[in-house]
Structure 1
């Protein structure tokens, strides 16, 4: 088993973990965005919203 095979196994495990916990990850993204928005007093709300949407697009749907 070469390093490429080992890395593929790690990546596959990561993808599986993300897909099983997609709802928790989305909640965390929302919480983090809300926290940052509060700390910046709404100054970057539009950019934060776009960032949250972009982050959620890369989260695969739950299996």
Structure 2
């Protein structure tokens, strides 16, 4: 039993040598840039969408009355 525990502890204690470790971490973003959304962030687009819809409805109402 004691031998088994030493083997388990030894297996978890081993680390990789410096030659096996990467020189640097991957600096690339995890998610691709949202180029198809334009320069505005997605949240800003969601927040301004009701305003654009309201302005468009006012334009339609103004065209109908003139």
The TM-score normalised by the length of structure 2 is 0.35
Return the structure number with greater helix share.
Answer: 1
Q: Which has the larger radius of gyration?
A: 2
